[in-house]
Structure formats: structure tokens, C-alpha cells
């Protein structure tokens, strides 16, 4: 489900901020954006998120700010300054004469002379910031889960109405099933009679080769192959199971996704077997409803 949450944690020296955004996805895909110096704690952040969010594309943004803004200003690295000054002395010796001394502004532009304590990569940095980042993440996840749960409650009602619409179309087809079977039987019988008559007009006697009982048996087999009773029964069972999942449970999204695939298969079979105009509108409506269910189920864990 789509949701957004933010969290913040403050320590004497730092402010930790986290933003979490989730989008629809069939799988759990987590992306964490933070300073590379803190990459060592990414597995903990990943596991903490997976405990709360089971499905969806999750983007996590983490920032660390100094409680004292002046603390974020670059600091002078005395060791680097001494290194460059020593290089200058070596250069003077190699040249055999004193060369122009570096100005302060030029020295500050040299690599490593200025450093930011928040960009340093070390175990100490991770140790200092891990707890604050985890607390900020938990607060952001709390907000996301609350928002997703609220959206899920509303979505559950919409899904129940879709299943109710499916049941109405299924029952409408069921009510016409017996009449459809009789109509199919008569249609096959008339087609066969016309075929036999056309053959006998050529002078061939079909009745002696194919007894009436055999012909009726073949017509019955053809009619049974077009029967949709089993498909309607399975579709009803899938609807009931779907409604049970809506009432609660853990990780129902994947199970609902599977049920939608099964319902899609049954509806397709019904549509292929029935070509009568009086049921075509119901089979088409079933197809559309199942497709809407499949799209909405992507939002559910």
C-alpha cells in the first residue's frame, strides 16, 4: 500500500531523521539511502523494516544533523596541514631555492585539509549513531503501519463489494445453467440430424452403421463437455475463501493473489464454454471484477 511516515530522535550531539515511503509491489523490496559511513548498520535497518512491512516497495531516507549547527562546519586536519608543509620543504630542497609559499586559501583547498566529522567512516561513527537511527526508523515505521492499516480497512470493504458482485453474476449464470444445457442438447441434436440427412441424400445409409443409442450418447457427451457446474462450484468456493481471508490473518496478500489467479482461470473457462448472449454480459462482468480484484490485491500484505 502507498503510505508515508517520518520519525525523529534527538541526542545531546545529533538529530536523527527518517522518512519511509511505501508503494505497491507483489514483493518486499527495500531501498535505504544514507551516508556511506554508516553502511555497516544497513542489515539491522533492513531486518527491522522487514519485521514491520511484509510486502511493497519501501524507500527509506536517513539523515544525521548536528544538534549544534556549528559542529557541522569543516574542521582543520592538522596532520594534513603538516604533511603538505613538509612536501613544500622537500620541493624547496629539490629545486635548490625557496619557492612561493602556499597561501592559506590555497592550503584549505587541498585534499584532506578540511574534514567533516559526519562524513568520517569508522566503527566509532557507527557505534555513536546506530541507536538514534534505529529509534527514528521505528517511529517512521509506526506512522507507515498505522496509515497502511487504515487504508487496508477501507480497501477490505471495497474488496468485499467486488466479491459480492461476482456472486451475483455467478448466481445469475447458475440460474440459467439448466436451460442452457437443454438448449445445447437440442442444438447438437438438430445439427446432427441435418448432417445425417445430408449424408443419406447421397445414398449412404448411416442408420445401419450408427444406432440411435450411440448418436444420443455422443450428443450427451458433447453437452456434458460444455457444462459449467464444476467451474461454478469452484468459483463459489474461491469466493468464500477470499471473504474468510478478508476477516483477518497474517500475510493474506499472497494467498489472495493465488485465489485471484484461480478465479480468473474458472471465469475464463466459463466464458469459453458459454457463447449464449443471455449469459455473455455476466461472464464479461465476472472477468472485469476478477481483474479489479487482482489489481487491488497488490496493495495487501
More confident site: 21 or 71: 21
Per-residue pLDDT reduced to its tens digit, 112-148: 888 765 554 467 778 888 999 999 999 999 999 998 8
Residue ranges of domains in the chain: 3-71+122-150, 75-115, 158-297
Whether CATH 1.10.10 fits 3-71+122-150: no
The matching CATH number, chosen from 1.20.140, 1.10.155, 1.10.3470, 2.30.110, for 158-297 is 1.20.140
Q: What is the pLDDT of residues 13-60, one digit of tens each?
A: 889 999 999 987 777 899 999 888 888 899 999 999 999 888 889 999
Q: Can you tell me the distance from the alpha carbon of 285 to that of 278, in angstroms, rounded to the nearest whole number?
A: 13
Residue 96 has pLDDT above 70, yes or no: yes
**pLDDT at residue number 28:** 85
Q: Strand, coil or helix: what is 59?
A: strand
91-118 mean pLDDT = 81
Q: Of the ranges 57-66, 175-184, 231-240, which one carries the lowest mean pLDDT score?
A: 175-184
Angstrom distances, CA of residue 181 to CA of 178, 186, 214 = 5, 9, 19
123-200 and 229-246 helices cross at what angle (nearest 10)? 160
Residue count (the chain): 301
Distance CA 46, CA 60 (A): 10
The region that residue 56 occupies, defined by phi over 0 for left and psi between -120 and 50 for alpha, beta otherwise, is left
* Average per-residue pLDDT for the chain: 82
Q: How far apart are CA 76 and CA 181, in angstroms?
A: 90
- Res 72: pLDDT: 61
In the prediction, which pLDDT does 250 show?
64
DSSP 70: G
- Which of the two residues, 144 and 295, has the higher pLDDT score? 144
Which pTM value belongs to this model? 0.58
Tell me, what's the pLDDT at 249?
63
Amino acid at each position: 500500500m502507498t503510505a508515508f511516515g517520518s520519525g525523529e530522535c534527538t541526542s545531546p550531539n545529533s538529530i536523527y531523521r527518517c522518512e519511509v515511503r511505501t508503494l505497491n509491489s507483489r514483493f518486499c523490496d527495500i531501498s535505504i539511502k544514507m551516508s556511506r559511513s554508516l553502511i555497516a548498520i544497513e542489515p539491522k535497518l533492513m531486518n527491522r523494516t522487514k519485521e514491520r512491512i511484509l510486502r511493497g516497495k519501501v524507500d527509506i531516507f536517513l539523515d544525521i544533523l548536528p544538534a549544534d549547527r556549528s559542529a557541522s562546519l569543516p574542521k582543520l586536519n592538522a596532520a594534513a596541514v603538516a604533511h603538505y608543509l613538509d612536501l613544500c620543504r622537500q620541493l624547496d630542497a629539490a629545486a635548490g631555492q625557496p619557492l612561493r609559499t602556499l597561501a592559506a586559501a590555497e592550503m584549505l583547498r587541498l585534499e584532506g585539509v578540511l574534514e567533516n566529522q559526519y562524513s568520517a567512516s569508522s566503527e566509532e561513527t557507527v557505534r555513536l549513531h546506530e541507536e538514534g537511527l534505529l529509534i527514528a526508523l521505528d517511529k517512521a515505521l509506526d506512522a507507515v503501519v498505522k496509515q497502511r492499516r487504515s487504508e487496508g480497512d477501507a480497501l477490505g470493504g471495497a474488496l468485499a463489494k467486488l466479491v459480492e458482485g461476482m456472486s451475483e453474476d455467478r448466481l445469475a449464470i447458475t440460474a440459467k445453467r439448466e436451460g442452457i444445457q437443454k438448449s445445447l442438447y437440442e442444438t447438437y441434436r438438430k445439427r446432427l440430424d441435418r448432417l445425417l440427412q445430408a449424408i443419406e441424400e447421397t445414398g449412404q445409409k448411416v442408420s445401419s452403421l450408427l444406432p440411435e443409442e450411440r448418436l444420443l450418447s455422443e450428443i450427451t457427451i458433447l453437452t456434458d463437455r460444455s457444462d459449467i457446474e464444476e467451474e461454478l462450484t469452484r468459483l463459489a468456493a474461491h469466493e468464500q475463501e477470499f471473504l474468510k481471508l478478508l476477516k483477518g490473518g497474517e500475510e493474506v496478500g499472497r494467498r489472495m493473489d493465488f485465489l485471484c489467479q484461480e478465479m480468473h482461470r474458472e471465469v475464463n473457462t466459463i466464458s469459453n464454454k458459454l457463447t449464449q448472449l443471455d449469459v455473455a454480459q455476466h461472464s464479461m462482468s465476472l472477468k472485469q471484477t476478477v481483474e479489479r480484484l487482482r489489481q487491488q490485491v497488490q496493495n495487501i500484505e
